Structure 1
Amino acid sequence: MAAFFYYFLAFLVLYVFTKHFLHKIRNLPPNPFPCLPIIGHLYLLKKPLFQTLAEIAHRNGSIFFLQLGSRPVIVVSSPSTAEECLSKNDIIFAGRPRLMVAEHLGNNSRNLVWSPYGNHWRSLRRIASIEILSTSRLQMLSSIRVDEVRSLLRKLLDFEDKPVELRTVLFELTLNVMTRMMAGKRYYGENVADAEEARRFRAAQLEANKVASATNYGDFLPWFKSKKLERTMIECQRNRVGFFLELINQSRRKTKISRNEERKTMIEVLLSVQDSEPEYFTDEMIANILLNLLSGGTETTISTMEWALSLLLNHPEVLQQAQKEIENMVGLDRLIEEADVANLPYLRGIISESMRMYPAAPLLVPHESMEECKVGGYKIPTGTLLLVNVWAIQNDPKVWEDPRKFKPERFEGMEGMAKDGFRLLPFGSGRRACPGDGLALRVVGLTLGSLIQCFEWERVGEEMVDMREGTGLTMTKVLPLQAKCRPRAAMIKLLSQI
């Protein structure tokens, strides 16, 4: 028995050092030592993953290599290496890895997020960018966003000087915006037409959020595949697709719209696209496009607004300055509108700074190299999974002065929101960048601006708001935000009229 142990130990040492030597010969990026048999570097990964990877980058450099079970992975953590991957080598890294979540929640890797780069993905991207998320289409649906924000303001009037859990009301606002734009229906709060349909939608959405962030080591160790998680994902996707297929059929039955009439909901728009290619553009494809939009446009938007409000509560002087800006540019005799946000640079700075400090997606959706290339002078093999650590880039003291200080003024003079080359990547960059950034920024800008304009905000107690991050794929707060609000004296009359 002792002899076996010594033989095994000798094999292990030989394996580790041989692997390390071959790694250097192949000119791969630096990797943490040691890389163990079978599991590789999986033993290093702890939650929250973005912080663990940032710590490894601190020791190994802004680009490093990990062998996660059977998968080669590179992690980039600087603007220059991110630019090499997402700009210079954009097409090479436009691929997506095959993962369980892509297979079972991504329509067998055929939806917009997980589809391999090619003609099918280009068709989906064109439909998303031109048909349902274009500037003109979003403008056409702006009344829905205004209506839902005003509904939120009315609801908050009932919480005057009482604690309100903001994550809940922001969740309801965002989901209602999305479902009304998609299908003309609201499933939360007042005026819910079909209570049972709303209940089914809410249950399916909560289940999807839970399973999408579940850890699956089977993606790296195929023999470690979780059958239970796989069954849960399959059932969850079946329920969600089935729900949207019902909405599609409802829309088809009740909207016998003439060719000259404007199609208003996203389902109606997608059904008009289907008329030209019914065999390719199936109901299932429409359902998955809508699911993509719902998944990508809710949790990230909610988290961004919750983090921004948390920061404002901990920095009341910033809140007061934002209120003064709105008073000067908008006035007190009308509510802020989406178009006003372009003329409110300090408000835009608050949003950009919140996204910088607490990016809703701290790691971009994984990319995969479709051929061999070089990044940072290192050779990257075909089929290498790419992780871009957005949180590390946006909180690097070499890139940002005092990165953990909330300073909206650092974005003075900058056009737009959440854009600063490869130093700021809340929506990614390149071909696989998030196509819904325009919608997300409209919802966040109007909602946050309205809450700042209409209410005075206070922490529930004397303690500072807890700013600890959760451990999921989306950066949520460990403790949901609670706050007290009361209508601003100058806005009471206007709020009573909405």
Structure 2
Amino acid sequence: MEDKVINIFYLFIFLITLKLLFFRKRLKNPPPCPPSLPIIGNLYQLRKQPLHRTLHGLSQKYGPILSLRFGSQPVLLVSSASAAEECFTKNDIVFANRLHSTASKYLGFNHTIITASSYGDHWRNLRRISSLEILSNHRLNSFLGVRKDETMKLLRKLARISGKEDLRKVELRPMFTELTFNVVMRMVCGKRYYGEEFDGTNAEEAKKFREIMNEISQFGLGSNLGDFVPLFRVFSSHKKFRKVGEKLDAFFQGLIDEHRNKKESSNTMIGHLLSSQESQPEYYTDQIIKGLIMALYVAGTETSAVTLEWAMSHLLKQTEVLEKVRIEIDMEIGEERLIEEADVTKLQYLQNVISETLRLHPPLPMLLPHLSSQDCKVGGYDVPGNTMLMVNAWAIHRDPELWADPTSFKPERFENDPVDGHKLIPFGLGRRACPGAGMADRILGLTLGLLIQCFEWKRVGEEEIDLSEGRGTIVPKAIPLEAQCKARPIVSKIF
């Protein structure tokens, strides 16, 4: 009897899957669609990494607007600037939702964080809080001391390693990771969780935090096939997601409670949000505060660290570009003082280097997926509601119709051609674009400028810098960057 019930259950799941796959709404003019398989759709074509290159290959074969199926989930893949602009202007509200996944349920506080929540009043509240309380110019300026202090720690560490006489080898990735993670967590809760300088209590707490974040880093799009293939939900285990989610929730709740129990207020994100909670408790619940912390951590740490590593890789590969940045810094700032954050706006060529790095290596090459709330048209094609939108920013940034010599690193391309917000989209477009662009600009500009001002940089040996890409939703270099550096005279005047 039990076997019969199980067989009937499996048959039911199978029939539901068939219904979803083969009895969908017929569209008059659907986008081109590569061949797909029953049940899994086009998922079999995504085995080859990195994902953005695989999807770019499909777009080159079938066109810049494609229809795919990830299991039962219809997908619209866009790989042209004009189609992306249409999605995020004319159809911006239509594509303002997010796809809910197992990861966003357990790691995104039941889909309530700003990056995962559906479009509506809750999301608008989160966006308002982010814009006014967390990422406004006023709030970011109030944390200038944190960014400067962490950057100076990086410079001192490099100065100790490099010395003044000989070039010394350094691995930059862990240093950039330490910098960006500590900047964000000091802004959030006033604590350093990476590198040195812990007190006795904080060391154990830091270890626990890093362990949780390492576990989270293992999850990404497609971590759970049950999100796309209903049949697989029978076999999917949410246990690992739930377990990490519970750890994360308890950790962030502990930070909130610790701040709440303090007598004095503190200049941290949690401190400011708890102050607002006293007057508007319905808008600043603990759940919302935890979600905002998580979103800031995800958006502002690894993305900036990866971009710094890519920038330094290109500068070491093209030393004439590095020298041009150094000359600009010496002329605009001089050799008697260090660059300040406010100086970065004067350093146009340095900004061009950052823009060119983001063009060739957007931290999220596929941005974040969107979800359509109703039927619409894109590029003349019919797109049904509940379609996941994937925009290949990496492909748009390398489109030869938009960029001359698109695969080459040429910061000069931005000198007489201001950045077009529709063809350079590392932070996305529309109402759900990343609100953290201002914070990223501050971290990237100050850090990169100081590294060039304070040190001489050279490749290790005569080998070319390897620019191959690694795996991950946020795409790092496949091989961590090693470089040789030596302190410039300005360092001795400062330290």
CA offset at residue 227 of structure 1? 6.5
Structure 1 distance, partners of 2:433, 2:237, is 28
Query: Counterpart of 1:320 in 2: which secondary structure?
Result: helix
Confirm or deny: 8 A CA contact 2:181 2:302 kept in the other structure: no
- Equivalences for residues 282-293 of structure 1 within 5 A: 282-293=285-296
CA offset at residue 24 of structure 1? 8.7
CA offset at residue 233 of structure 1? 1.8
Q: Paired residue for 1:379?
A: 382
Q: Paired residue for 1:9?
A: none
Please state if 1:236 is matched with 2:244. yes
- Equivalences for residues 286-301 of structure 1 within 5 A: 286-301=289-304
Q: Paired residue for 2:184?
A: 178
Confirm or deny: 8 A CA contact 1:211 1:232 kept in the other structure: no
CA offset at residue 232 of structure 1? 1.7
Confirm or deny: 8 A CA contact 2:88 2:429 kept in the other structure: yes
Q: Paired residue for 1:493?
A: 492
1:401-425 residue CA offsets vs partner (Å, 9 max, x unmatched): 111111001111466xxx4221111
Structure 1 distance, partners of 2:248, 2:146, is 23
CA offset at residue 104 of structure 1? 1.4
**Does 392-401 or 182-191 show the bigger shift?**
182-191
Amino acid at match of 2:204: E
- Equivalences for residues 73-88 of structure 1 within 5 A: 73-88=75-90
Structure 2 distance, partners of 1:467, 1:292, is 29
Please state if 1:121 is matched with 2:127. no
Q: Paired residue for 2:322?
A: 319
Q: Paired residue for 1:56?
A: 58
How many residue pairs get aligned? The number is 469
Please state if 1:462 is matched with 2:462. yes
CA offset at residue 158 of structure 1? 2.0
- Equivalences for residues 302-341 of structure 1 within 5 A: 302-341=305-344
1:132-159 residue CA offsets vs partner (Å, 9 max, x unmatched): 1100110111011011101100000122
Please state if 1:199 is matched with 2:198. no
Give TM-score, length-normalised by structure 2.
0.91
Give TM-score, length-normalised by structure 1.
0.90
Confirm or deny: 8 A CA contact 1:241 1:288 kept in the other structure: no
Q: Paired residue for 2:411?
A: 408
Amino acid at match of 1:474: I
Amino acid at match of 1:348: Q
* Structure 2 unmatched ranges of 5 or more: 1-17
CA offset at residue 23 of structure 1? 9.5
Assess, with a 3 A threshold, how the Cα gap between structure 1 residues 25 and 170 changes in structure 2: closer, same or farther: closer
1:356-375 residue CA offsets vs partner (Å, 9 max, x unmatched): 00111000110011111110
Confirm or deny: 8 A CA contact 1:216 1:226 kept in the other structure: no
Amino acid at match of 1:41: N
Assess, with a 3 A threshold, how the Cα gap between structure 1 residues 213 and 70 changes in structure 2: closer, same or farther: closer
Structure 1 distance, partners of 2:27, 2:77, is 20
Q: Paired residue for 2:432?
A: 432
Q: Paired residue for 1:250?
A: 258
Query: Counterpart of 1:421 in 2: which secondary structure?
Result: coil
1:400-452 residue CA offsets vs partner (Å, 9 max, x unmatched): 1111111001111466xxx4221111000111100111101100111001001
Confirm or deny: 8 A CA contact 1:248 1:267 kept in the other structure: yes
Task: Specify which of 209, 215, 218 is matched with residue 226 of structure 2.
Answer: 218
Amino acid at match of 2:409: F
Confirm or deny: 8 A CA contact 2:113 2:292 kept in the other structure: yes
Confirm or deny: 8 A CA contact 1:460 1:484 kept in the other structure: yes
Query: Counterpart of 1:211 in 2: which secondary structure?
Result: coil
Structure 2 distance, partners of 1:462, 1:427, is 35
Structure 2 distance, partners of 1:345, 1:256, is 42
CA offset at residue 376 of structure 1? 0.2
CA offset at residue 186 of structure 1? 1.1
CA offset at residue 339 of structure 1? 0.8
Amino acid at match of 2:465: V
Structure 2 distance, partners of 1:98, 1:222, is 14
What fraction of aligned residue pairs are identical, expressed as a percent?
A: 48
RMSD after superposition? 2.0
